[in-house]
Structure 1
Amino acid sequence: MTPEQRREIKTRIEKRMQELRITIAQLEETSRPVSLDQPIGRLSRMDSMANQAISGQRLSDSKRTLMRLERALDRIDDDSFGICAECGEDIAPGRLLIMPEATLCVDCAE
């Protein structure tokens, strides 16, 4: 992997991390428990509870992705970055541009 590719991947990681932090803040707001004291109908309350559960799942997924990106950013300057953890071959730079947190090549990920 060339130094230019590493810089581009690093830039994308940092940008994605900023986006995720904003998303996480928004999801933390929408995944708060639904108050049973709200003067809304039973179906509306059930909709609110379902939406809260969906937001909670998205919040978990976003936090997990953020942690993976933080780890990728920590190891981007290591020689092991971009090397498949399973087979030891290079991970395609295109894959790393799309999924910088990837630790497996396409073949091993399948």
Structure 2
Amino acid sequence: MDDKQKEELKKKIKIEIEHLTMLVDDLKETVAPVAPDAAIGRLSRLDTMLNQGINKSSISQSRERILKLGDTLKRLDKDPFFGECEECGETISFARLLALPESRFCIECAE
């Protein structure tokens, strides 16, 4: 991977972290408990609770990905083997790294 590709990947990772951080902030507002005395019907309350569960899961997954992307940024500069498959040692395609920067395996080994 050349320096231009590394810079492109860093930029992509930073944009993705920023996007996920904004998503988490937006979703935090939707997971506040529903007051039992709220003037909504039983079905609306159940629907709200279901949506809250989905949003909590999205927050958790987004936070986990933010951590992985942050780790990837650190590895990008420090790990001389960054971009090589941890299973077979072959180069991970740049297209795969752009799609999933945190990938540690080539497509074949990931399957």
Give the TM interval when normalised to the shorter protein. over 0.9
Q: Sequence identity, in percent? A: 43
- Residue of structure 2 equivalent to 1:90: 91
Distance in 1, Cα, partners of 2:10 & 2:80: 14
Number of equivalenced pairs: 110
The one-letter code sitting in structure 1 at the alignment partner of 2:100 is: M
What do the CA deviations read for 1:34-88 (whole angstroms, capped 9, x no partner)? Answer: 2222111000000100110110111111111111100100101121211111111
* Over 4 Å off, 4+ runs: none
Distance in 1, Cα, partners of 2:37 & 2:87: 53
Answer with 44-53 or 29-38: which moved more: 29-38
Alignment of 1:58-97 (within 5 A): 58-77=58-77, 78-97=79-98
Alignment of 1:19-30 (within 5 A): 19-30=19-30
Unaligned runs of 5+ in 2: none
- Residue of structure 2 equivalent to 1:5: 5
Check whether the contact 1:91–1:104 (CA below 8 A) recurs between aligned residues: yes
Check whether the contact 1:84–1:91 (CA below 8 A) recurs between aligned residues: yes
Distance in 2, Cα, partners of 1:44 & 1:68: 36
Please state if 1:108 is matched with 2:105: no
Unaligned runs of 5+ in 1: none
Distance in 2, Cα, partners of 1:90 & 1:34: 50
Distance in 2, Cα, partners of 1:31 & 1:47: 12
Q: Report the 3-state secondary structure (helix = DSSP H, G, I; strand = E; otherwise coil) of the residue aligned with 1:40.
A: coil
Distance in 2, Cα, partners of 1:101 & 1:37: 45
Distance in 2, Cα, partners of 1:48 & 1:20: 23
CA RMSD of aligned residues (A): 0.9
